């Protein structure tokens, strides 16, 4: 009987251990999801763990991301018109060439995000943290015109993070 159990155990142990190796400390899969080039209008991502997820060239008009963890996510060329990103963590995210028109970024953290060619119009930025985010001069001027508030997570004022004068 022992002769039969030992080879069986050697086969079963990797099957039991492998899923644990693929899951992170919080039990989530380390392989990020890819939602590139999809139409996700009005989709509810509120409070979701979306670290490292790809939304490149995705239509996310009116999507709800409030309170979501989007650290390191890629939203290159995403359409985020009227999307709710209030309180979301977009640290280290890529927003280059994204369209943010009427987007709610209140109390969002965008520290070290890349948004140089991002279109910002009619965005709500009260309390948003833009620390170390590179902007074109015209975009920075527009954002500074409406910058106010203090981010509840980082304690930084929006005007200071934008280096408004």
CATH number, position 76: 2.160.20.80
On whether residue 48 sits in a domain, the answer given is: yes
- The answer to the question of residue 6 being in a domain is no
**pLDDT for position 22:** 41
Q: Is residue 17 part of a domain?
A: no
- H or E element: which one contains 142? helix 137-146
Dist CA 132 CA 112 (whole Å)? 5
- The confidence score (pLDDT) of residue 32 equals 73
Tell me, what's the pLDDT at 9?
A: 47
Rounded to whole angstroms, how far apart are CA atoms 22 and 84? Answer: 31
pLDDT, residue 7, reads: 53
For residue 2, being part of any structural domain is answered with no
Residues of the chain with pLDDT under 50: 8-30
> Using an 8 Å Cβ cutoff, are 148 and 159 in contact?
yes
Domain around 65? 29-165
Give how many domains the chain has, as a whole number.
1
- The pLDDT value given to residue 16: 43
Does any domain span residue 162?
A: yes
Q: Residue 111 domain-assigned?
A: yes
Q: What is the model's pLDDT at position 165?
A: 84
Whole-prediction pTM:
0.81
In a domain, residue 49? The reply is: yes
How far apart are the C-alpha atoms of 131 and 133, rounded to whole Å? 6
């Amino acid at each position: 009987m022992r002769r039969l159990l030992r080879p069986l155990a050697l086969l079963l142990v990797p099957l039991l251990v492998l899923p644990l190796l693929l899951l992170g400390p919080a039990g989530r899969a380390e392989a990020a999801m890819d939602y590139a080039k999809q139409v996700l209008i009005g989709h509810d991502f509120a409070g979701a763990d979306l670290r490292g997820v790809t939304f490149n060239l995705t239509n996310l008009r009116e999507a709800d991301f409030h309170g979501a963890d989007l650290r390191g996510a890629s939203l290159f060329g995403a359409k985020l018109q009227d999307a709710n990103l209030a309180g979301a963590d977009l640290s280290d995210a890529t927003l280059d060439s994204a369209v943010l028109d009427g987007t709610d970024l209140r109390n969002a953290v965008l520290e070290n995000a890349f948004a140089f060619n991002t279109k910002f119009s009619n965005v709500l930025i009260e309390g948003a943290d833009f620390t170390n985010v590179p902007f074109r001069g015209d975009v920075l001027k527009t954002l500074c015109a409406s910058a106010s508030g203090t981010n509840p997570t980082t304690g930084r004022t929006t005007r200071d993070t934008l280096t408004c004068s």
